[in-house]
């Protein structure tokens, strides 16, 4: 989900997984389909919105979405999680990432917050785009129908070490157990 150019979709297809990819960007989906064709990999990819996933109920064993679901506000993220629950089979696995509330973009004084978790990005290339930030309590609340098996909290360091910017993400593994 949120496959963009398709690096994860191609990686899983190369390993022999049956892969379906969705992204709101037609450019990303075209790129992924061309890449899959060039490698003769049977990837299915469609343009679609994660708030209304273009799939039937109970059809996936696993959903992988790193750096994707945070592109929304609190209400949107709740809708996305309910869509994931709809299309995932019971005992299915999710691999999600969340922007961390310990990041400068969330903490800085001038941040334009549209709800308690959501900041409107001021920097290009995502100026004007809402980003949802979480802490572990938020993640546990959002994933209350899942058994969380692992949470990693990772800090990214800009290569320009002069930049005083903290960028952190949570990476979450969980099993659907309603």
Nearer to ligand SAM, 42 or 125 (CB): 125
Residue 51 beta carbon to ligand SAM: minimum distance, rounded to whole angstroms:
6
Nearer to ligand SAM, 82 or 147 (CB): 82
Residue 173 beta carbon to ligand SAM: minimum distance, rounded to whole angstroms:
16
* Residues of this chain that bind ligand SAM (CB under 6 A): 2, 4, 7, 23-25, 28, 49-51, 66-68, 71
Secondary structure string (H, E, C) spanning 96-118: EEEEECCCHHHHCCCCEEEECCE
* Count of alpha carbons within 13 angstroms of residue 9, beta-carbon side: 28
Nearer to ligand SAM, 67 or 140 (CB): 67
User: Rounded to an integer, what distance in angstroms lies between the CA atom of residue 35 and that of residue 70?
Assistant: 26
Residue 109 beta carbon to ligand SAM: minimum distance, rounded to whole angstroms:
26
Region at 58 (left for phi over 0; alpha for psi -120 to 50; beta for the rest): left
Nearer to ligand SAM, 90 or 153 (CB): 153
Residue 70 beta carbon to ligand SAM: minimum distance, rounded to whole angstroms:
9
Please give the sequence-ordered ranges of beta strands (E in DSSP) within 35-127, or none if there are none.
Answer: 44-47, 60-65, 88-100, 112-115, 118-120
């Amino acid at each position: 989900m949120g496959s963009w150019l398709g690096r994860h979709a191609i990686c899983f297809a190369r390993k022999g997984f049956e892969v379906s990819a969705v992204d709101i960007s037609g450019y990303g989906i075209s790129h992924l389909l061309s890449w899959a064709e060039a490698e003769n990999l049977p990837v299915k990819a469609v343009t679609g919105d994660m708030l209304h996933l273009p799939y039937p109920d109970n059809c996936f064993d696993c959903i992988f979405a790193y750096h994707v679901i945070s592109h929304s506000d609190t209400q949107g993220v709740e809708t996305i999680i309910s869509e994931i629950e709809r299309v995932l089979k019971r005992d299915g696995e999710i691999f999600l990432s969340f922007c961390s509330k310990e990041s400068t973009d969330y903490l800085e004084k001038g941040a334009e917050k549209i709800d308690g978790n959501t900041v409107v990005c001021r920097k290009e290339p995502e100026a004007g785009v809402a980003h949802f930030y979480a802490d572990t309590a938020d993640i546990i609340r959002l994933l209350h129908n899942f058994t969380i098996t692992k949470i990693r909290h990772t800090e990214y360091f800009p290569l320009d070490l002069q930049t005083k910017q903290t960028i952190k993400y949570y990476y979450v593994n969980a099993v659907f157990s309603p």
